[in-house]
Structure 1
Amino acid sequence: MKRMNSYILFTLLSFSQPLFAQPIVVWNRLLEHPNPMVSELLVKALQVTADEYGSFQLIPSEAMEQGRVVKQMANNGHVQIAVFAPTKEREESAIAVRIPVTGSLLSYRICLINKGQQERFKSVSSLDDLISSKLKIGTHRDWPDRTIMEANGLTLWKGHKYALLFEQLAAKRFDCFSRGANEVLQELDLHLDKELEIEQHLVIYYPLPFYYFVNKDNPELAVRLAKGLRMLIDNGEYEKIFKEKYAETLKILAIQDRVTIELSNPLLTEQSKVQMEKYKSYFQTLIHRSSL
């Protein structure tokens, strides 16, 4: 229901724009994202730059998986804006707007598990423990998470469709569906029929920003989006949205009280590492203030 409401909101928003508004084709998964900050922040960044760049009309793309939208943008396809974690390949395929969309919360991975399985995780207190436990972690074969976790020696189940991973978890094909702290509660809410729950003991951490990406055919749109995001940070609107969307989530997940297992991320480009370091203090403070 939440996803449908978000879709309706963007449809209404788009068609309420003037006829001369710039049409912007956006990956459907961005507009339907389980956490509304992903879509709301995009709209606000475009709105605060409207005086300089003009009005806009958001048009959802046809439904497609993440791998397909990356390839589509690499080949100058019609999708103008998408959102995903960066890799060298993705940053070569499209223009990365290197301001994290949901703070750094995508870096904090929480397990969705089947009900009654909490005890299987309580003995894990280190990366070595997690590796030797043979607990199988579910992920999408096209996500950066797959490469990151494989590089760190974890045992994986790799699916090819996002929606099916929830079905496969419920069918006990794997033990943990690793999700970002920014999305796990919303996804649990969308799959209440599957007898799933949040694992309470662990948080797996690896540096993984969540960026908007813009088609290389439209560099002005990338400049506009980056400018809008910086304006939202400077005027306090970013922090306001973050707290509205995640304060309760951070209290429920209690990240600071969990055992942290840290992984390295071999996929970050030097440019993304520099940008993450630049915003590190800001987002750490934001997460701390929001969890109080």
Structure 2
Amino acid sequence: MRLVYPQYFTVQDSTGDFDWIVLHAAMEKTAARFGPYKLSPSKEPLSVARLLAEMSYPEGSINVFARATDLELEKKFTPIRIPIDRGLMGMRLLVVRKDDLPRFAAIRTIDELKRLSAGQGQGWIDTDVLGAAGISVVVAPRPDALYAMLEAGRFDFFPRALDEASREFDMQHKTRPSITIEPTLMLRYPLPRYFFVRHDAEGDKLAARIRAGMEMMVQDGSLAALFRQYKGPLIERASIGKRHIIDLPNPLLPPETPLQRSELWFRP
């Protein structure tokens, strides 16, 4: 069995490292039952548009990818409905300008947050989640431009997944000293990140094996252990217990999402 996953371009896709660590572990768990496998990256980095195009026909250069789910994605591809990151992607810290910290510290409700504007990348699910909550969203065609746009005052805050925010801040703060991670708030909405495969015979076999491996990892605790190993320090750094959490609905969340399975989700 051969699996080819996409290389990514930018720091915004740095969650990919953890994705493939989890996928490798799931394949190892199922080696005795399903046999040998080969797991390798694509020959070149793929944009999201190219990734989806490659997955849309059987001869495409990849046959598995990881992405936050939505209704449309689950129509086109087969999801393995076990959140890779235990739902951490839906926990959002706000990157802001330092001068604006006092006004964010006074915010406690979504109505208060709606007075400000957010920045997002084109095609990101979060754009719809924030928009549905009544938040004005400025969309950038190039995700790598968002920090410069925030610094320039084009919008007021840039929500990043909890594990993305700290890594990206460490890479940005020396060249952009006017921005920081806001310390008192966190947005939270259900946004599971899944593995996806094609709707075809090969995809069915891949899905069965990945699903079996991940269920084994849930049951024996190894998925939670990897989560603690790779995400734990970033979670601790975020000091969630000191933050006021604003919950938002996700209108693009498929009804099949296993929200009732508490063992699949990180609950701070």
| TM-score tier (shorter) | 0.7 to 0.9
Sequence identity (%)? 25
Are residue 194 (structure 1) and residue 173 (structure 2) matched?
no
- Residue aligning to 1:155: 136
Distance in 2 separating the partners of 1:114 and 1:87:
31
- Residue aligning to 2:71: 88
Cα shift readout 1:169-188 (whole Å, capped 9, x = no counterpart): 23332221111113211222
Paired AA for residue 260 in structure 1: I
Distance in 1 separating the partners of 2:6 and 2:162:
22
- Which structure has more relative contact order (CA 8 Å, sep 6+)? It is 2
Paired AA for residue 34 in structure 1: S
Distance in 1 separating the partners of 2:171 and 2:31:
34
Are residue 39 (structure 1) and residue 20 (structure 2) matched?
yes
What is the Cα deviation at residue 54 of structure 1? 1.2
Are residue 222 (structure 1) and residue 207 (structure 2) matched?
yes
Looking at secondary structure, tell me which structure has more helix per residue: 1
Distance in 2 separating the partners of 1:260 and 1:39:
30
Cα shift readout 1:132-152 (whole Å, capped 9, x = no counterpart): x2x221112211111111111
Are residue 25 (structure 1) and residue 8 (structure 2) matched?
no
Distance in 1 separating the partners of 2:98 and 2:89:
24
Structure 1 pair 171–25 and aligned structure 2 pair: CA distance change class (3 A): farther
Distance in 1 separating the partners of 2:54 and 2:176:
33
- Residue aligning to 1:138: 119
- Whether the 8 Å contact between 2:2 and 2:37 is mirrored in structure 1 is no
- Residue aligning to 1:250: 235
Distance in 1 separating the partners of 2:120 and 2:131:
11
- Whether the 8 Å contact between 1:30 and 1:82 is mirrored in structure 2 is no
Distance in 2 separating the partners of 1:99 and 1:141:
26
- Whether the 8 Å contact between 2:5 and 2:42 is mirrored in structure 1 is yes
Unpaired segments ≥5 residues, structure 2? none
RMSD between aligned residues: 2.2
Structure 1 pair 167–232 and aligned structure 2 pair: CA distance change class (3 A): same
What is the Cα deviation at residue 191 of structure 1? 2.3
Structure 1 pair 167–79 and aligned structure 2 pair: CA distance change class (3 A): farther
Aligned residues: 260
- Whether the 8 Å contact between 2:9 and 2:47 is mirrored in structure 1 is no
Moved more, 201-210 or 250-259: 250-259
Q: What is the 5 A alignment of 1:1-292?
A: 22-29=1-8, 33-35=13-15, 36-51=17-32, 52-60=34-42, 62-76=44-58, 77-131=60-114, 133=115, 135-192=116-173, 193-195=175-177, 196-217=179-200, 218-272=203-257, 275-278=258-261, 280-284=262-266, 287-288=267-268
Structure 1 pair 118–260 and aligned structure 2 pair: CA distance change class (3 A): same
Distance in 2 separating the partners of 1:75 and 1:173:
39
Q: TM-score, normalization: structure 1? A: 0.81
What is the Cα deviation at residue 85 of structure 1? 1.1
What is the Cα deviation at residue 29 of structure 1? 2.5
Equivalent position SS for 2:69: coil
Paired AA for residue 180 in structure 1: A
Unpaired segments ≥5 residues, structure 1? 1-21
Equivalent position SS for 1:266: coil
- Whether the 8 Å contact between 1:209 and 1:276 is mirrored in structure 2 is no
